[in-house]
Amino acid sequence: MIQTNKKGFTLLELLIVITILAILTLVVVLFINPVEILKKSRDVQRMSDLSTAKTAIVLYLQDRGSNNLGCTTYCASSVPAAGILDTATGNKIRMSLGATAANEKTSAGTPRYYTATTTADVYLNSGKGWIPYVDFTTFASGAPIEKLPADPTNTGGSGGTEGINSLYYRYACKTNNTFEIDATLESDTYGPIGTDPKSSVDGGNSGMRYEVGTDLNILPSTAPLFANPLT
């Protein structure tokens, strides 16, 4: 008879394998940092969204000479040195957060920051979304943007320094048809204290927010936090 010996792993061998796997996992977390990769990916999306929206608005203004961004109904006639838009009516700043009129948010010491009318309306490209009045569906050759973008996270945050957790887009315009859109970048690469901070080189008035548009001094330099935005 031929006898075969089947030999399994010893406890020591299993412990060695488990230890090696644990070390490799730690290396992946420390050096690859999947959380930072996700943040950076969202930041790239934010910069792309704002670029797309800016281009679409510029095309809208160029489409017909009579086009404007909403005059005094939606735009401020001027921006005071304090960077506060139209304190009388307070409805000049729009955000990519959805809320009803009963849930308009306020920030201490500043005018109201209006959101899109309802959550469903946030993405509308017909002038009823979070960028008001500008109706991209009027283009004879087709809308330059099929729907309005919203921040990948799209939340007002829940505490901390004002503006840091304000992961939503903002829009405002002036009656001379200039406009600004901004966003908070969150990664250690592109964020305000990152290795390649975009908010410090975009030419705007905010070191916290990444800004695009034709006048980068319209929006206040910080964005308010909202504990319970409707998204």
**What tens digit of pLDDT does each residue of 171-210 get?**
999 989 999 999 999 999 999 889 999 998 999 988 889 9
Q: What is the pLDDT of residues 102-131, one digit of tens each?
A: 444 554 444 456 667 677 788 999 999 999
CB-count exposure of residue 40 (10 Å: 0-12, 13-18, 19+): buried
List all residues 6 or more positions away from 114 whose beta carbon is below 8 Å from its beta carbon.
90, 91, 93, 94, 95, 104
Among 10-19, 32-41, 50-59, top mean pLDDT goes to 50-59
Average pLDDT, the chain: 79
- The pLDDT of residue 166 is 80
Please name the amino acid found at residue 93.
I
The answer to whether the beta carbons of residues 42 and 186 sit under 8 Å apart is: yes
Quote the percentage of the chain above a pLDDT of 70: 72
Contacts of 224 (CB under 8 A, 6+ apart): 105, 106, 107, 110, 113, 156, 162, 163, 166
Mean pLDDT of 8-20: 81
Whether residue 4 is predicted with pLDDT greater than 60 in this model: the reply is no
pLDDT in tens, 57-78: 999 998 876 789 988 888 888 7
Q: Tokens at residue 91, please?
A: 């409805």
